[in-house]
Amino acid sequence: MKHVIDQPLETDRMVLNYGPHHPATHGTLRIIMELEGETVTKVTPEIGFLHSGFEKLGEDLNFNQYITITDRMNYLSPLCNNVAYALAAEKLMNLEVSKRTEYIRVLMCELSRIADHLLNVGMLAVDLGAMTAFLYGFRVREDIYDLFEKATGTRLTTSYTLVGGLMRDIPEGFEKAVLKVLDEVDKAANDIETLLNKNRIWHDRTKNIGIISKEDAISYGISGPMARASGIDWDIRVNEPYSSYQDFDFDVAIALNGDVFDRYLVRMEEIRQSIKICRQSLDKMPTGEVIIDPNLGLSLPPKDEVYNSIEGLIYHFEITMPHRGMTPPVGEAYVPTESPNGELGYYIVSDGKCTPYRVRTRPPSLINYSIFSKLIEGHMLSDAPAILGSLNIIAGELDR
């Protein structure tokens, strides 16, 4: 007599739909998985559910109006998008902004990086069943959003930069508030690391999962923390400094294995380095204007003048009316920046009119996501949320 248990378990190929509305996909993604038992054999990601034609829209809006669209791309770190777009437009128009503007931009970018990384690490932990780490991170992230509200007036759609400067200077007492929040962030990062770094379950779920080799990372165009977790020593802030990043002293976090755990470690270390950069930028904050001379005709006038003087109002209309305002020379500019997800670049082509001829975003989410099907094949189904969470996909930027 043959026991049933001795026979090999027969499994059929099963097709599983993951998304587009699934809590673990963080946005509208659809993944069609083919399973043998619990092992994923083939993955077909389908995207485009949030495609809103931002690039087409950019051809109709003038240079300052498009900044409001950049908020909606990576909605977890909108300030980085604002800064990246403003830098590209300024390169096209050959504008030089003041040192104070650059330092405030660095401060805001780093605060967004902290908020983005805290949320990413937290969501990864939630997807793997660790709620506490998420709550520690989310609470201080709330404080950072309060800072954004103080400085920009809004929490999410910040639109803080203008071409040629900033919408407004940082408010009084902002330095003190930032320093207080940074201390809280430091504590929260310690708490998260205490919970996860030596946690056996965390190690089992994240180590040797979704390994990206160095060659693959370059071939697939992976950038940012994901590339650095695979051992690529490349940080645009250090290697091609923009917006005065060369003035700051910080380390680049690198890991060698390229798995989910290493990506988590790199992100945690980047939070600490960002805290360092924020403190330095507050220490060395230069004085001066935060917008270039309005008489050049290349920037919006300060809001005080617009609201309180007739000349300012007339001038504001001159700049913002259709077919009037700032006109760059015919040409094109590509500016890469280091966003929390990776290389965020804006490529603007101008035909000499007051709206851009073509605005292209180099979306780190899309390009980092293209390796997903290769990573998941051969892993278990339960590893899918871990790998997806470690890629940090933002659907608004993925589909644009």
Cβ(359)–Cβ(67) below 8 Å: no
Q: Which residue has the tokens 């709620």?
A: 131
Nearer CB in complex with another protein: 260/367: 367
At a CB cut-off of 8 Å and minimum separation 6, what does 316 contact?
300, 301, 306
We find the least distance from the C-beta atom of residue 329 to another protein, in angstroms, to be 8
* Phi, psi (degrees; rounded to nearest 5) at 30: -125, 130
Residue 264 β-bridge partners: none
We find the least distance from the C-beta atom of residue 357 to another protein, in angstroms, to be 6
Cβ(171)–Cβ(107) below 8 Å: no
Nearer CB in complex with another protein: 145/357: 357
We find the least distance from the C-beta atom of residue 360 to another protein, in angstroms, to be 5
Separation CA 113–CA 57 (nearest Å):
27
Separation CA 138–CA 116 (nearest Å):
10
We find the least distance from the C-beta atom of residue 242 to another protein, in angstroms, to be 12
Residues counted in the chain: 400
Nearer CB in complex with another protein: 34/216: 216
Cβ(330)–Cβ(351) below 8 Å: yes
* Phi, psi (degrees; rounded to nearest 5) at 360: -120, 135
Cβ(230)–Cβ(217) below 8 Å: yes
We find the least distance from the C-beta atom of residue 159 to another protein, in angstroms, to be 22
We find the least distance from the C-beta atom of residue 25 to another protein, in angstroms, to be 17
Q: What is the largest CA-CA distance in the chain?
A: 99
Nearer CB in complex with another protein: 232/291: 232
We find the least distance from the C-beta atom of residue 60 to another protein, in angstroms, to be 6
Nearer CB in complex with another protein: 92/266: 92
Burial 76-105 (b: 16+ CB within 10 A, else e): bbbbbbbbbbbbbbbbbbebebbebbbbbb
Nearer CB in complex with another protein: 79/398: 398
Separation CA 127–CA 25 (nearest Å):
10
We find the least distance from the C-beta atom of residue 29 to another protein, in angstroms, to be 13
Cβ(107)–Cβ(178) below 8 Å: yes
Chain contacts with another protein (rule: CB under 8 A): 47-48, 51, 53, 55-57, 59-60, 91-92, 94, 216, 218-221, 223, 232, 234, 239-240, 331-334, 336, 343, 345, 347, 349, 351, 357-358, 360, 362, 366-367, 370-371, 399-400
- Among residues 91, 108, 23, the alpha carbon closest in space to that of 298 is found at 91
**DSSP label at residue 374:** H
Nearer CB in complex with another protein: 91/379: 91
Nearer CB in complex with another protein: 305/332: 332
